[in-house]
Structure 1
């Protein structure tokens, strides 16, 4: 059964509450909020507000920047969300990539290896705190002493962990420890420090999926960059094909794009399950109207 997560940023109170209610009514599995301190809303505050007006939809971060978040505060935030939502929280974490977010907290963004080391340390420490353990860590990337999350205690015995990444080391770690691997398809960060090159060649995706299942069988979720219902797929994908140096035929096979007629999108979701085992999709705000009517069909794929 395919599941869809809707990533949205609050614009105002009325719009956010309405979106949460509509997403749940449409059948979206999870409502998620991004984490880019200084340029978007605080994810757990926004999700707690959504919890008050929904009853079934899961609520998660997609994804918190482990480079600028401390495990004690992160565990407290997600445990609080779990309590106020009645056990619907999902913890999504990534290594982070935008330099300005480090600069804003008085740090210099580390290189890739150090960011990955920090991300793994934060995930392990946060999970241990949520499990009620006393945590001490003393490594270059993270220092904690006798940290314990006494209150609040999460409702769920095991907080679902989503790791959003295309990094090989994180994919391997997530294959053994995560509940969900968010396949981003990202390549190196561009010079603006925010946008990415992509790794959308089918062989690249094969490699990412192999790493994500190297040590276990977490659910695989594709981060979708374009959702469009159209009878003219060639025209809809022409710009991406030109920019990426790929053919439209190749892009039709990429799980990070859901473009085509309703029947073609359903067929693509089925094909992605059969080839890669992808059963989840993270989509953005426009997909609420575009995919909402299709979710009953997609949920059966």
Structure 2
């Protein structure tokens, strides 16, 4: 079981660059596997108070963090496939992988924030078109990382005459790909076909939904001839203020019983030293177990 943090609330008091860098260093020292950032231009977490609306552009911020850390992995949770052109998105995550020495994740999904798209002038077509574009991005990324520069044709008139990716990613074959979303017909099928990881949400139903979604994923994997065990099964869960390391380790153990291999934690306020100390203690306890 791996434990990571997702920095959704970026409203630290005082200087934001120092707050973000301090969280990244503390998370790395605590043994967290990955630091994830949401890929939004405006705050998209509906549980946060209105005054907590700071939101950095993800890939610029991750590049900043790559220069201030040395071990922790870095990625978006997740990038909407439609907000950037496919080649630009692949180049952004490749650049992060190169500059971080092979520590990037490629977190990508179909996208769903209609108000953000309207407010900021971002492209957000209908559900089917977004899923088609997600499939395009996944296929194109593998092609570019393999050095295949032949013409690429995708959905809705997408055509690249000579897609190339130089420098090549530091990670052989490209960064691991996490597909966000748990749609049972298409999204989890795309995970089975193209991704290294999925992401599902922790709901207050004792893991019933999580177990069901993972069973659907296993069926898709069987259809395409893939072992579901090769997919990192991540769970996004909220870390309540005051949670102890023992309580968090118990949460990780429970999630492992549902089939989860990687716990991604979100806080209802900016990450601080106390929350990260609980993460560090839980990482140690999970490793000992």
Normalising by structure 1, report the TM-score: 0.76
Give the whole-Å Cα distance in 1 for the aligned partners of 2:246 and 2:75.
Answer: 29
RMSD, matched Cα:
2.3
Does 2:264 align with 1:294?
Answer: no
Structure 1 unmatched ranges of 5 or more = 186-197, 231-260
Displacement of 1:74 after TM fit? 0.9
Q: Distance in 2 between matches of 1:262 and 1:52?
A: 29
What per-residue deviation string (whole Å, max 9, x for no partner) do you get for residues 55-113 of structure 1?
11111111101122221111111111111111111100111111134333364x33333
- The alignment status of 1:184 with 2:198, answered yes or no, reads no
Q: In the alignment, is residue 154 of structure 1 matched against residue 158 of structure 2?
A: no
Task: Give the Cα–Cα distance (whole angstroms) in 2 for the partners of residues 61 and 182 of structure 1.
Answer: 12
Q: Which of 275, 279, 282 is matched with 2:261 structurally?
A: 279
Distance 1:31 1:133 in 2: 30
Matches within 5 A, 1:52-67: 52-67=67-82
Matches of 1:173 and 1:300 in 2, distance apart?
34
Q: CA deviation at 1:262?
A: 4.4
Residue 203 to residue 13, structure 1, CA distance change in 2 (3 Å):
closer
- Range that drifts further, 172-181 or 82-91: 172-181
Q: 1:211 to 1:69 in 2, by over 3 A?
A: farther
CA-CA distance at 1:54 after TM superposition:
1.2
By percentage of residues, which structure has more strand? 1
State the TM-score, normalized to the length of structure 2: 0.79
- Count of matched residue pairs: 255
**Which of residues 197, 208, 211 is equivalent to 2:213?**
208
Higher relative CO (Cα under 8 Å, sequence separation at least 6) belongs to 2
List alignment gaps of at least 5 residues for structure 2: 44-54, 222-226
1:21 aligns with 2:25: yes
Corresponding residue number in structure 1 for 2:38: 34
Q: CA deviation at 1:128?
A: 1.8
Equivalent in the alignment of 1:89: 104
The correspondence of residues 118-157 of structure 1 with structure 2, limited to 5 A, is 118-134=133-149, 135-140=151-156, 143-157=158-172
